[in-house]
């Protein structure tokens, strides 16, 4: 049974970097079929896909245009986890952040983490 | 990002059929999927690749996708189906979600 355990701070100051981790059990971040996604949800923006990382003989990343200049998603094969780093945050980045697995890289997400509420405030 | 449009709300009586639409440019040429989300919970996949149900999802959930519109249909709707529903599709390696539809079972 695949499980995703999220961790990271719930409060980030404006202009700083938001960093979250998603630990994977029951699957591998290096899987040659899966893709690993970050999504956020806020009342104003609804569900918003942020980006993904996946391995297919080499590592690939795709990012949403809205955050492309500020986001990095990194796999950590030694810990079987992925991380999200979002730079220069503003209050508009306040949201619940989820990691999720796409089992075949075909665009649907079958396992989600429980979500991390992140507030951007001084 | 790829823009998908859903009605904000749909109401249905118990036992009746609920239909939730999702519109996007040439959506029928892409795969659509649907998620159910209840308050305080993470989204749950209920339909993927337009028509497929993950294991554990009741048969009353079905999907279709043609032209510019994907549809989630819930037959014999039950009170437990009251939730927010989101469609999702991909365009040029970027994902997009619909704005969500609140399904009320009256």
B42/A66 CB distance under 8 A: no
Q: What is the pLDDT of residue B69?
A: 98
Residues of chain B neighbouring A106 (CB-CB closer than 8 A): 31, 48-49
Q: Which of residues 3-62 of A touch B (CB under 8 A)?
A: 37, 39, 46-49, 52, 62
pLDDT single digits (tens) B64-76: 999 999 999 999 9
Q: Please, which residues bridge with residue A12 across strands?
A: A120
Rounded-to-integer distance, Cα B38 and Cα B28, Å = 27
Structure letter (DSSP) for residue B4: B
- The pair of three-digit structure tokens given for residue A45, joined into one six-digit string: 């923006």
Nearest CA in chain B to A105: B93
CA–CA min distance A39, chain B (Å): 10
Distance CA B14, CA B86 (A): 21
| Residues 6 or more apart whose Cβ sits within 8 Å of residue A69 | none
Chain B residues 12-41 with CB within 8 Å of chain A: 31, 33, 35
The per-residue pLDDT for range B4-47, each reduced to its tens digit, is 999 999 999 999 999 999 999 999 999 999 999 999 999 999 99
Residue A52 in this model has a pLDDT that exceeds 90: yes
CA distance A7 to A19: 9
- What stretches of B16-82 adopt beta strand conformation (E)? 18-23, 32-37, 44-47, 61-66, 69-74
Q: What is the pLDDT of residues A86-110, one digit of tens each?
A: 999 999 999 999 999 999 999 999 9
Do A39 and A116 meet the contact criterion of CB atoms below 8 Å apart? no
B90 neighbourhood in chain A, CB within 8 Å: 107
User: Which is it for strands B32-37 and B83-91: parallel, antiparallel or unpaired?
Assistant: antiparallel
Residues 6+ apart with CB under 8 A from B83: B36, B37, B38, B102, B103
Q: Does A66 touch chain B (CB under 8 A)?
A: yes
Please report the residues numbered 40 through 69 in chain B whose beta carbons come closer than 8 angstroms to any beta carbon of chain A: 42-45, 48-49, 54
Tokens of A62: 């795709």
What kind and span of H or E run contains A23?
Answer: strand A18-25
Distance from C-alpha of B16 to C-alpha of B13, rounded to nearest angstrom: 6
């Amino acid at each position: 049974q695949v499980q995703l355990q999220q961790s990271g701070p719930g409060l980030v100051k404006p202009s700083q970097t938001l960093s979250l981790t998603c630990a994977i059990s029951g699957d591998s971040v290096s899987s040659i079929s899966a893709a690993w996604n970050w999504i956020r949800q806020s009342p104003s923006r609804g569900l918003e896909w942020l980006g993904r990382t996946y391995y297919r003989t080499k590592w690939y990343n795709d990012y949403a245009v809205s955050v492309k200049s500020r986001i990095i998603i990194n796999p950590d094969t030694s810990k079987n986890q992925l991380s999200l780093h979002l730079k220069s945050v503003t209050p508009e980045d306040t949201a619940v952040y989820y990691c999720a697995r796409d089992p075949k890289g075909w665009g649907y997400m079958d396992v989600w983490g429980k979500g991390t509420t992140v507030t951007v405030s001084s | 990002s790829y823009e998908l449009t859903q009605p904000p709300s749909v109401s249905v009586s118990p036992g009746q059929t609920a239909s939730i639409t999702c519109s996007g440019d040439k959506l029928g040429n892409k795969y659509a999927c649907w998620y159910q989300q209840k308050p305080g919970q993470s989204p749950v996949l209920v339909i993927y690749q337009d028509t497929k149900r993950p294991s554990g999802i009741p048969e009353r959930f079905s999907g279709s996708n043609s032209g510019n519109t994907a549809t989630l249909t819930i037959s014999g709707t039950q009170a437990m189906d009251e939730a927010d529903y989101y469609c999702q599709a991909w365009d040029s390696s970027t994902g997009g979600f619909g704005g969500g539809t609140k399904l009320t079972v009256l």
